[in-house]
């Protein structure tokens, strides 16, 4: 069975890997010059660093299983066990322990000085219908907890706003705390944790994973192969692939759609119109990652900091990467690597600024946040990576949107979808959707 996998991000590669293992003949059709999508490494001076995703959840097995399967298991590394900070009201403060922003240690919360008002807690049942994360938390713990704790943590994952993000799809862990959020968070924090770190990286960067999947996977990959059209053709599919000036038509027995929602929506308009219409309503946040190689830096203790949107800085987070990842500190010698990110959903203008302006904006924020407590030092190299359509926004009602897509796609023989648009934006969740799409195709 020849299967076209549209999109060579980690979802498409996971699907292709499992299709090949199951005896099918997948062909990955990737529009850009390289596979990996949001898993990508670039040069920063003499170093190579991740400029997209840099860590993956280890508390669910899918991403680490794939990493082991492609021979990179020995390179899985834990981040240094140093907590993160929050920039709030003119100070870098220790991020107290929370469950996705819901405080689990009131003593640590008080000493962080993050909240100005005393924490009022109202228990209220978890509603059956979806609501925004902000509404759910503000009704139970007050708006300040949303603004100062939930927003920076959610922003770090979705680059979106708690007022729009869905409780059920974007923060099910908060809903699972039950009607009394503080009691639920305290209880959750006291439960024994599985051994090992929750998040892991790869020596040399998570961006090594896609090429390793290709090297070991035994399937065909074509880059620069934008898919422009898809239609049912008898019992199979006909795809239009390649540059507009030299597009070719090709037949496949099945299609796994692993491209982000805007492309998936356009391509499925004829084959699965209800799915296509639903996908057209999925918004994405665009963002920029600006990396710095610094000499003589003396950074405050912590692996980096998050910034709540109420602070209205340009940077929304910074990772002190060479402190977080030992392999990077070793490669950097005495130099320091810092990664900043700019832009949230709706701030598309950020991406249109030129590289020099983005570097200036990020550096100016970095200096004003870090310098009261440390030194940024001098910049010896920079890297700028734009992510147009970087992260899908799981807004209120997202689960209904996904149900509409999957129900419609299920009626079309030989068609599956996977990727960050559906069941979670993290690498582990995305790899899982690729594997599940492969299994359904093989069972098809
Ligand atoms: C800056 C940033 C940092 C992140 N950090 C983390 C992190 O630390 N940990 C974590 O777990 N997750 C992180 N994420 C999220 C995670 O990286 C992504 O959700 C995930 O990699 C998405 O994978 P995907 O395969 O679904 O999509 P993508 O990576 O977007 O891949 C889709 C591919 O489809 C291709 N394509 C599109 N249209 C077509 C077409 N018509 N024809 C052919 N190909 C097409 C694209 O070129 C692309 O390569 C981060 C995301 C960003 C943007």
Residue 127 CA from chain centroid, whole number: 27
For residue 260 and ligand 1, the question of a CB distance below 6 A is answered with: yes
Which run of H or of E encompasses 294? strand 284-295
Using the predicted structure, report yes or no on whether residue 156 has a pLDDT greater than 90: no
Q: Does the domain made of 2-43+60-76+201-282+394-443 have the CATH classification 3.20.20.300?
A: no
pLDDT in tens, 201-226: 999 999 999 999 999 999 999 999 99
User: Which amino acid residue places its CA nearest to atom 34 of ligand 1?
Assistant: 7
CATH superfamily to which 284-392 belongs: Protoporphyrinogen oxidase, mitochondrial; domain 2 (3.90.660.20)
Distance of CA 142 from the midpoint of ligand 1 (Å): 34
For residue 29 and ligand 1, the question of a CB distance below 6 A is answered with: yes
Can you tell me the distance from the alpha carbon of 405 to that of 112, in angstroms, rounded to the nearest whole number?
43
Give me the pLDDT at residue 3, please.
98
Instruction: Compute the average pLDDT of residues 115-131.
Output: 93
Of 269, 308, 423, 297, the residue nearest 366 (C-alpha):
297
Atom of ligand 1 nearest to the CA of 391: 53
Strand locations in 313-441 (E): 315-319, 336-342, 378-392, 415-417
Give me the pLDDT at residue 118, please.
85
Using the predicted structure, report yes or no on whether residue 310 has a pLDDT greater than 90: yes
Give me the pLDDT at residue 246, please.
87
Atom of ligand 1 nearest to the CA of 55: 8
Distance of CA 370 from the midpoint of ligand 1 (Å): 30
For residue 376 and ligand 1, the question of a CB distance below 6 A is answered with: no
Atom of ligand 1 nearest to the CA of 392: 19
Burial label for 348, CB within 10 Å (0-12, 13-18, 19+), is middle
Distance of CA 111 from the midpoint of ligand 1 (Å): 38
Using the predicted structure, report yes or no on whether residue 444 has a pLDDT greater than 90: no
Please tell me the CATH code under which domain 95-190 is placed.
1.10.3110.10
Give me the pLDDT at residue 394, please.
98
Distance of CA 252 from the midpoint of ligand 1 (Å): 24
Contact by Cβ (8 Å): 19, 256: yes
Using the predicted structure, report yes or no on whether residue 227 has a pLDDT greater than 90: yes
For residue 205 and ligand 1, the question of a CB distance below 6 A is answered with: no
Distance of CA 238 from the midpoint of ligand 1 (Å): 25
At 83, is the pLDDT very low, low, confident or very high (cuts 50, 70, 90)?
Answer: confident
Q: Where are the domains of the chain?
A: 2-43+60-76+201-282+394-443, 95-190, 284-392
The counts of H helices and E strands in the chain are 18, 22
Atom of ligand 1 nearest to the CA of 267: 41
For residue 39 and ligand 1, the question of a CB distance below 6 A is answered with: yes
Distance of CA 264 from the midpoint of ligand 1 (Å): 13
pLDDT in tens, 320-335: 999 999 999 999 999 9
Using the predicted structure, report yes or no on whether residue 346 has a pLDDT greater than 90: no
Ligand 1 pocket check: which of 28, 41, 52 to mutate, most ligand atoms within 8 Å of Cβ? 52
Over the chain, what is the mean pLDDT?
Answer: 96
In terms of phi and psi (left: phi > 0; alpha: psi -120 to 50; beta: otherwise), the region of 102 is beta
Percent of the chain scoring above 70 in pLDDT: 100
For residue 420 and ligand 1, the question of a CB distance below 6 A is answered with: yes
């Amino acid at each position: 069975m020849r299967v076209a996998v549209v999109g060579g991000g980690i979802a498409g590669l996971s699907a292709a890997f499992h299709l090949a293992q199951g005896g099918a003949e997948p062909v990955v059709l990737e529009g850009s010059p390289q596979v990996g999508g949001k898993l990508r490494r670039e040069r920063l001076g003499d170093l190579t660093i991740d400029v997209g995703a840099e860590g993956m959840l280890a508390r669910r097995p899918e991403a680490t299983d794939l990493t082991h399967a492609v021979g990179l298991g020995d390179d899985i590394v834990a981040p240094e066990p140093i907590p993160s900070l929050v920039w709030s009201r003119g100070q870098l403060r220790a991020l107290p322990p929370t469950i996705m922003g819901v405080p689990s240690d009131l003593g640590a919360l008080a000493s962080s000085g993050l909240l100005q008002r005393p924490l009022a807690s109202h228990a209220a049942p978890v509603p059956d219908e979806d609501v925004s994360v902000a509404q759910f938390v503000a009704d139970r713990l007050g708006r300040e907890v949303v603004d100062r704790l939930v927003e920076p943590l959610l922003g770090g994952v979705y680059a979106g706003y708690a007022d729009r993000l869905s409780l059920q799809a974007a923060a099910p862990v908060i809903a699972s705390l039950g009607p009394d959020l503080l009691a639920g968070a305290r209880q959750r924090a006291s439960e024994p944790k599985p051994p090992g770190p929750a998040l892991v990286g790869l020596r040399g960067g998570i961006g090594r994973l896609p090429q390793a999947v290709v090297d070991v996977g035994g399937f065909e990959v074509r880059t620069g192969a934008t898919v422009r059209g898809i239609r049912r053709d008898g019992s199979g599919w006909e795809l239009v692939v390649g540059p507009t000036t030299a597009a070719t038509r090709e037949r496949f027995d099945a299609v796994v759609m692993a491209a982000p929602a805007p492309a998936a929506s356009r391509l499925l308009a004829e084959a699965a119109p209800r799915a296509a219409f639903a996908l057209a309503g999925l918004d994405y946040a665009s963002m920029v990652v600006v990396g710095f190689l610094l000499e003589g830096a003396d950074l405050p203790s912590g692996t980096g900091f998050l910034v709540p949107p109420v602070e209205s800085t340009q940077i929304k987070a910074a990772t002190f990467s060479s402190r977080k990842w030992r392999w990077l500190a070793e490669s950097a010698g005495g130099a320091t690597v810092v990664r900043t990110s700019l832009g949230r959903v709706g701030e598309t203008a950020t991406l249109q600024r030129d590289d020099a302006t983005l570097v200036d904006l990020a550096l100016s924020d970095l200096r004003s946040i870090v310098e009261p407590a440390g030194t940024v030092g001098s910049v010896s190299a920079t890297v700028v990576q734009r992510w147009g359509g970087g992260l899908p926004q799981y807004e209120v009602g997202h689960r209904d949107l996904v149900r509409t897509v999957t129900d419609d796609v299920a009626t079309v023989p030989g068609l599956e979808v996977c990727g960050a648009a559906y069941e979670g934006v993290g690498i582990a969740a995305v790899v899982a959707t690729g594997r599940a799409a492969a299994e359904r195709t093989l069972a098809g």
